[in-house]
Amino acid sequence: MSSIELKNLIKKYGDGFPAVNDVSLDIADGEFMILVGPSGCGKSTLLRMVVGLEDITSGDLLINGKRVNDLAPRDRNLSMVFQNYALYPHLTVFENIAFPLRLAKGQHSDDEITQKVNAASKMLELDEHLQRKPANLSGGQRQRVAMGRAIVRDADAFLFDEPLSNLDAKLRGQMRTEIARMQRRLGVTTIYVTHDQTEAMTLGDRVAVLKKGILQQCASPRELYEQPVNLFVAGFIGSPPMNFLPAEVDGSTLKLPFVDVPVSDELAEKVAGKDLVIVGVRPEYFKDASLGDANKGTEFSAVVDQTEWLGNEQYAYIPFEAHEAVQGKLEELDRELDGEGMRTQLVVNLDARSRLREGEEARLVFDPALMHVFDPNTGECLT
Ligand code: ATP
CA of 185 to the centre of ligand 1 (A): 33
In the prediction, which pLDDT does 324 show? 77
Whether 195 lines ligand 1, by a CB cut-off of 6 Å, is yes
Helical H segments across the chain, by residue range: 43-51, 93-103, 110-123, 139-152, 169-186, 197-203, 221-226, 231-236, 265-271, 324-336
Average pLDDT, integer, range 134-141:
86
Whether 42 lines ligand 1, by a CB cut-off of 6 Å, is yes
CA of 85 to the centre of ligand 1 (A): 21
CA distance 304 to 356: 8
119-128, 229-238, 284-293, 330-339 — most confident range:
229-238
CA of 45 to the centre of ligand 1 (A): 6
Supply the pTM of this predicted model. 0.90
CA distance 189 to 223: 21
In the prediction, which pLDDT does 292 show? 76
Atom of ligand 1 nearest to the CA of 41: 6
In the prediction, which pLDDT does 366 show? 93
CA atoms lying within 13 Å on the CB side of residue 147: 27
Atom of ligand 1 nearest to the CA of 47: 11
Atom of ligand 1 nearest to the CA of 14: 29
In the prediction, which pLDDT does 166 show? 72
Residue minimizing CA distance to atom 9 of ligand 1: 42
- The DSSP 8-state label assigned to residue 188 in this structure reads -
Query: Does residue 151 carry a pLDDT above 90?
Result: no
Confidence of residue 329 (pLDDT cuts 50, 70, 90): confident
CA of 206 to the centre of ligand 1 (A): 23
Contact 192, 160 (CB under 8 A): yes
CA of 192 to the centre of ligand 1 (A): 16
Average pLDDT, integer, range 26-37:
96
Q: Which residues of 112-121 are buried (b: 16+ CB within 10 A; e: fewer)?
A: ebeebbbebb
Whether 20 lines ligand 1, by a CB cut-off of 6 Å, is no
Query: Does residue 156 carry a pLDDT above 80?
Result: yes
Query: Does residue 29 carry a pLDDT above 80?
Result: yes
In the prediction, which pLDDT does 341 show? 60
Query: Does residue 32 carry a pLDDT above 90?
Result: yes
Domains of the chain, start order: 4-233 (3.40.50.300), 241-374 (no CATH)
Alpha carbon distance, N-terminus to C-terminus of the chain: 38
CA of 41 to the centre of ligand 1 (A): 7
In the prediction, which pLDDT does 373 show? 96
Residue minimizing CA distance to atom 28 of ligand 1: 13
Contact 9, 46 (CB under 8 A): yes
ipTM of the complex: 0.97
Contact 197, 236 (CB under 8 A): yes
Query: Does residue 372 carry a pLDDT above 90?
Result: yes
CA distance 278 to 242: 11
Report the range of poorest mean pLDDT among 5-9, 80-84, 276-280.
80-84
Confidence of residue 1 (pLDDT cuts 50, 70, 90): low
In the prediction, which pLDDT does 333 show? 83
**pLDDT tens, position by position, 164-205:** 877 778 878 888 888 888 888 888 999 999 988 889 999 999
